[in-house]
Chain A
Amino acid sequence: MAKLDRNRLMFFASFDGTNWEALGKDNDDLSKELNPDTETSKNVLGESTFQHSGYEPEIETDPYYADPTSVLYEKLSAAAMQEKYGDSDIKGYFLEVIFDTVNQSAGTMSGTGYKREAYIVPQSTGGDTAGLGIPFTVNPVGAQTNQNVVYTKATRAVTVSAAVTYTYTAVTPESTDNPASEGWYEKYGTVTYVQSTDTSVVAGKTYYERSAG
């Protein structure tokens, strides 16, 4: 196993909690900056000390080129042009997900996401000659709820639904089995299951079958 592809982690934004947009169409670098509020010091014993007072997360989506077919366009352009900043104008939702399952044949990825309310704040209008830019920041707020997220690569469509609890059961493979095509998982850590990429059974390795519920 090596590092995960960048598209295994995605951010989504929505104004109504129903129509979501995958963030990053115009970006080759996009992060949720956690901005941890920390303080390091030292004590009279000659030791270092550390205090963590929480995070102030922010996602800076810049550039972002306006697209009237985008689900964010209408409210984002209205807030930017008319300089609105009330909750009804800029408050929406943010969703962050790591996709742990990829279905190559269907062209989908799925995983557990974390959803919460967020302020979607336009930063400017105009920009360079590449397009009409309305870059914005997303400031997530409040409590997170777990969601099941399925993303279709070809259409950038996303389905967000109630979180699913999965059960992983060890399988007894035949020597001719192909773990990758069987859709089996391998376990790392205490609760992390990763789709196997083995094309033949590796002796001594435990594979798991996943089922919902």
Chain B
Amino acid sequence: MAKLDRNRLMFFASFNGTDWEALGKDNDDLSKELNPDTETSKNVLGESTFQHSGYEPEIEVDPYYADPTSVLYEKLQTAAMQELYGDDAIKGYFVEVIFDTVAQDGSTMSGTGYKREAYIVPQSTGGDTAGLGIPFTINPVGAQTSVSVTYTKATRGVVIS
């Protein structure tokens, strides 16, 4: 066994918890930054000490080119253009999954994902000449629930149950 392909881990976002978009169509580098809140120090015994106070995860999706057929487009561009930031404008869901099973023909992948609520926050509108950009960040919040995720490569379709 060698290292896993990058597409074995995927992120998905949704505003309604039903229609999901696989994140990364415009990105060659995409991470959930855990931003661990840690502190290293030393004590009077001459030892090193370490304290971990939890994570503040964030996913920065940049670039992200607007596509009216995307399930995120309508609410994302509305929030960006009208500068809305209420829960009903930017709160949705986030799923992270490592696919541990790949169909023999490679067409689908499945695995256990972790779903929770998330804020989907546009960062800017416009950008360079490559396309109409609305980059955004995702800030997952609250408790996670385990979900079963099946992803179809050809269509980017995903079933989360």
Contact = CB atoms under 8 A, between A and B. Distances in A.
Interface of A: 1-6, 8-9, 11, 28-34, 36, 38, 40-42, 45-50, 52-55, 57, 96, 98, 114, 144, 188-192, 194
B85 A29 contact: no
B87 to A, nearest CB: 9
Given A3-B131, A28-B128, A189-B73, A48 B57 contact: yes
B127 A34 contact: no
Those 5 A-B pairs whose CB atoms lie nearest each other, nearest first:
A3-B65, A189-B74, A42-B54, A31-B126, A40-B56
Contacts of B85: 36, 52-55
A29 B63 CA distance: 13
Given A11-B126, A48-B56, A188 B73 contact: yes
Given A36-B85, A190-B74, A194-B68, A6 B129 contact: yes
A70 B32 CA distance: 45
Interface stretch (B97-105, B139-147, B150-158): B139-147
Interface of B: 26, 35, 37, 53-58, 65-69, 71, 73-74, 77, 80-83, 85, 90, 119, 121-133, 139-143
24 contacts: A1-B68, A6-B131, A11-B126, A28-B128, A30-B126, A31-B124, A31-B125, A32-B124, A34-B122, A36-B122, A40-B35, A40-B139, A47-B142, A47-B143, A48-B54, A48-B139, A49-B141, A50-B139, A52-B119, A52-B121, A54-B83, A55-B85, A190-B74, A194-B68
Given A11-B126, A29-B127, A52 B90 contact: yes
